[in-house]
Structure 1
Amino acid sequence: MSARPVNIVAAESITEWSAEVDVLVAGFGIAGGCAAVEAASRGARVLLLERAAVAGGTTALAGGHFYLGGGTPVQQATGHADSAEEMYKYLTSVAREPEPEKIRAYCDGSVEHFTWLESLGFEFERSYYPEKAVIQPGTEGLMYTGNEKVFPYRDQAVPAPRGHKVPVPGDTQGAALVIDLLVKRAAALEVDVWYETGVTDLIADPDGTIVGVSWRRPGETGAVRAKSVVLATGGFVMNADMVAEHVPWLAEKPFVLGTTYDDGIGLRLGLAAGGAARNMKQAFVTAPVYPPAMLLTGLVVNRDGQRFVAEDSYHARTSAFVLEQPDAAAYLIVDSEHMERPMFPLAPFIDGWETVEEMATALGIPFEALQSTLDRYNENAARGEDPDFGKSADFLAAQDTGPWAAFDLTLGKALYAGFTLGGLYTSADGEVLRENGSPIPGLYAAGAAAATLAQDGKGYSSGTQLGAGSFFGRRAGAHAASRSS
């Protein structure tokens, strides 16, 4: 879908204001809800506009991982030592263009943010899920959700699990519980919420200070004056023009993760106001081959029969490397000793073969190249080594007992899903920044509307969207509220 152009409306042209508030928040997902609640808790008069008929946005579809660390109560209870410094080193190492001030703020404030989240009315279970998985199958409160134990990151920061899961079983909609609690907290703080009402334009004074928004709902339009505006309207994965311009491969075959309203409205408004964007060509995309984790003892090869990634990588890292291969084609190969069928095979099982030569022929891979790769892998695995990609010994096992099986990781064959990671350039307090780093007075952004931690698909960790979205949503709300005092 394409979207209507946005404008910056002159304040002097507005003849009637629908309302006047201290802080106007656009979007009631995790970032917007946290911004509104934080601003209201500091005494600001807050109005929240949400285009849908209910709160939640894309957050309501999420499994419920929050990436938190530095020694949270769950980490402590399960015996996992961590520090803000090690968390900082890890997030810096996986960021594409790290912004130290923001990463430092996130890590230093992580334990306090954990406590704040629980103050909404739930508790992360003080338990640990030790298996390699996309998300905990039950209500376990902690697991590894990134590349912390993957080479080279394990040598750059002491590994620690930081994927804190909301205590809802299953792999979707766990975050909806947090949204429900934010709705209740917002009501208790007398945040005014207008549903089925979307921001259409920003309103500015002659000097460029943002002083309000224009809005629209079925059969009605208007304008709200505000001392600060927080854009928390999601990403742009549903905007065909923006996807075509910045991440065209995302439109080819993956299933996109988002709602109808992830059309980039906040990003476009921020750019129209003079803000800059970051990370626009980056997206999260994945088709996990695990669980079962046993499959990760196998090897992933491209059409030339060559390995190109450590198979124990976080699923999105592996997927990002797959998309860089010729024809975005790759295969996971396992022998009969390590073959297990996934319950939900996103990378489909192709077939099994009695010999490597038969497999190579069926997959269209040069036999000599595949056999050579397999031999080298097996020889090293037997020694518990992977000098080529640094795969952990936990997932090294010779694949030398036929028959052999293959799973298809190829784009268009595997069921890939993705979302955009680019957004507005912001400060650690959520201020929308110009290209020169100066803030646009009165304008903030958080969540997927902002390029918060500048990650790409290879460096993403599950839980950073909810974790950073909620954390910097609060920061934006607090700073926005300070402008009204």
Structure 2
Amino acid sequence: MSSTESTESRATQVPAALPLADVDATTAERVDVVVVGFGIAGGCAALEAARTGARVLLLERAATHGGTSAMSGGHFYLGGGTAVQQATGHDDTPQAMYDYLVATSKEPEHDKIRAYCDGSVEHFGWLEALGFEFERSYYPHKAVIQPGTEGLMFTGNEKMVAFKKIAAPAPRGHKVPVAGDTEGTKMVMDLLRDRLAEAGVEVRYETGATHLVVDGEGTEQRVVGVAWKSFDTTGVVLAPAVVIAAGGFVMNREMVAAYTPALAEKPFVLGSTYDDGLGIRLGQSVGAELKHMDEPFITAPFYPPSSLMFGFIVNKHGQRFVNEDGYHSRTSQFVMEQPDHAAYLIVDSNHVEYPKFPLVPLIDGFETIAELETALDLPAGSVAATLERYNAMAAAGEDTECGKAPEWLAPQDTGPWAVFDLTLGKAMYAGFTLGGIRTTVDGRAQRPDGSVIEGLYAAGACASNIAQDGKGYCSGTQLGEGSFFGRRAGRHAADLARTTTPA
């Protein structure tokens, strides 16, 4: 076998579970809860477990804490009437938040969405109690993330016509008070590290889980610990509860190619070195079901400036296929479904501005629509017919084709027309994975028949919860649900440890 083949097999290999009978009980360590991975989910799980009195060991393969969480801009999707929403005059209720998330979920898990929405205000307070405060301010413009330290903005599709009919829109993208669009969560992760130290949690860096330790067989099998490796040293730690929070699989090119081929084609990937799917494969080793593994988050925002949303998007047939005012990953996901992943944003001279972050390149400006069609090799007359319908709908103030909000409708009738290329491979797409281990509302890993795998929990990017696909995604969902369901998993794991006879 070549070295390349060996590497690829290791990248997709499901590590065999280690029978308890093969463990040397005289050398194995014992704790109440083991948490694998120190991102937002793992850190919150470990802290909640420790605060209930459990002895917790947190294993992290990297040399420091944070994982992919520390690389994000710092949005937490929270609502139901948080202090920031109240301070900025935005009414919201848990029910409105629930109705919206149910409507935008691919396969809504109602118990999880209900728990998340009903517990959102409390979770907001828990996060601030780590030692920071979301700024009581609102950013009203259409953007990917607040450029400054503003505490609140719309980060999803709440204002879309279709969803406004279901739930009253409210901004729920709560950003930590760090300016800019990267590493906003590092401050939170640093505070989480400090709180873990205060709670007496042992954290071992450069130490990764390699296998789950199991006792019993079949549906009676339970997870009772993990085998670990740190450089050349190996060992086993036994615990009644194990929480896997080891991230997604975006850095595993073989898994990406197998599950999410569009993400494997051209995009830059957003993740840490250790987002290699190992946590997910550990779950597989004991029979956990995987869900939504084929649904990536892929995006190339064409805004800001927001004026570009007055334009219209067509595919290779010169036809519209999506409302242009949606959240950027929703629009991008519709682009991925078009022939050759190709699409073009067309904006007239009254509304065109060059993007502040040129992720979507300008092809050219065209004096006539016929010239535009020829240059892009679109069917003759196709864009002209689309533009005629679009302008008529804009003049009437209602998009009867794709449901674009009236506030973003304006006739595009003044040449020349600028064309921006949204095509995969031309625009600068970025993405990460969303699928993971099937879990209960308390983070318990589940088999395909719905039964729980006793002793095993999953949270964060290696678990399947609310973030299920790019069309329904809202910025802040990963950090929001990772921290929220990480806490639930930690509490339940600690409760299980208190009532379980050690292996």
TM-score (normalised: structure 1): 0.99
**What's the CA shift for 1:174?**
0.3
**What's the CA shift for 1:454?**
4.9
AA matched with 1:19: E
**Following the alignment from structure 2 to structure 1, what is the Cα–Cα distance between the partners of residues 28 and 388?**
72
Do the aligned residues in 2 keep the contact of 1:151 with 1:389 (CA within 8 Å)? no
**What's the CA shift for 1:372?**
0.6
2:185 maps to 175
Secondary structure, counterpart of 1:484 in structure 2: helix
AA matched with 1:48: L
**What's the CA shift for 1:379?**
1.4
Q: Select the residue among 21, 25, 32 that pairs with 1:22.
A: 32
Do the aligned residues in 1 keep the contact of 2:269 with 2:430 (CA within 8 Å)? yes
**Following the alignment from structure 1 to structure 2, what is the Cα–Cα distance between the partners of residues 61 and 413?**
25
> Counterparts in 2 of 1:107-118, with a 5 A limit?
107-118=117-128
Aligned residues: 485
1:59 aligns with 2:72: no
> Counterparts in 2 of 1:85-484, with a 5 A limit?
85-206=95-216, 207-484=220-497
Secondary structure, counterpart of 1:55 in structure 2: coil
AA matched with 2:210: T
**What's the CA shift for 1:254?**
0.8
**What's the CA shift for 1:311?**
0.2
Do the aligned residues in 1 keep the contact of 2:467 with 2:478 (CA within 8 Å)? no
**Following the alignment from structure 2 to structure 1, what is the Cα–Cα distance between the partners of residues 150 and 14?**
45
Do the aligned residues in 1 keep the contact of 2:370 with 2:380 (CA within 8 Å)? yes
CA-to-partner distance for each residue in 1:233-289, whole Å, 9 max, x for gaps? 000112222212211121111111111111111111111111111111111100000
AA matched with 2:385: S
Distance change >3 Å, CA 76–CA 17, structure 1 → 2: farther
AA matched with 1:331: Y
Identity %: 63
Displaced runs of 4 or more, over 3 A: none
Q: Which moved more, 1:450-459 or 1:284-293?
A: 450-459
Secondary structure, counterpart of 1:483 in structure 2: helix
Secondary structure, counterpart of 1:367 in structure 2: coil
Do the aligned residues in 1 keep the contact of 2:348 with 2:416 (CA within 8 Å)? yes
Secondary structure, counterpart of 2:393 in structure 1: helix
Unmatched segments (≥5 aa) in structure 1: none
**What's the CA shift for 1:205?**
1.0
Q: Which moved more, 1:186-195 or 1:378-387?
A: 378-387
Secondary structure, counterpart of 2:191 in structure 1: helix
**Following the alignment from structure 2 to structure 1, what is the Cα–Cα distance between the partners of residues 141 and 470?**
22
AA matched with 2:144: V
**What's the CA shift for 1:151?**
3.0
Secondary structure, counterpart of 1:351 in structure 2: strand
TM-score (normalised: structure 2): 0.95
RMSD: 1.0
CA-to-partner distance for each residue in 1:435-480, whole Å, 9 max, x for gaps? 1211111100000010111521111111000000000000000000
Do the aligned residues in 2 keep the contact of 1:17 with 1:224 (CA within 8 Å)? no
Secondary structure, counterpart of 2:240 in structure 1: strand
**Following the alignment from structure 1 to structure 2, what is the Cα–Cα distance between the partners of residues 76 and 468?**
22
**Following the alignment from structure 2 to structure 1, what is the Cα–Cα distance between the partners of residues 106 and 209?**
31
Secondary structure, counterpart of 1:391 in structure 2: coil
1:12 maps to 21
AA matched with 1:236: F
